[in-house]
């Protein structure tokens, strides 16, 4: 399996989701607060998909 660098948009989306998950740990964010673990997992999955599939 050959890995490729994710596109800038995929990377930015992943970083934003990860930052929101971390921030929701320290301050109350109404929507993300209950699902902060799953938001962090989604950030990782999006980044992994961007690495595995070329052109995503």
CB 6 within 8 A of CB 56: yes
Nearest to 46 by CA among 27, 20, 24: 20
* Residue 27 DSSP code: S
Length of the chain: 56
CB 35 within 8 A of CB 3: no
pLDDT digits (tens, 9 = 90+) for 7-34: 999 999 999 999 999 999 899 888 888 8
pLDDT of residue 37: 94
Distance (Å) of CA 17 to CA 8, 34, 51 = 14, 14, 17
């Amino acid at each position: 399996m050959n890995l490729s660098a994710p596109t800038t948009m995929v990377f930015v989306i992943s970083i934003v989701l990860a930052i929101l998950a971390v921030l929701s740990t320290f301050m109350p964010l109404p929507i993300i607060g209950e699902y902060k673990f799953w938001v962090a997992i989604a950030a990782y999955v999006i980044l992994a998909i961007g690495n595995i599939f070329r052109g995503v």
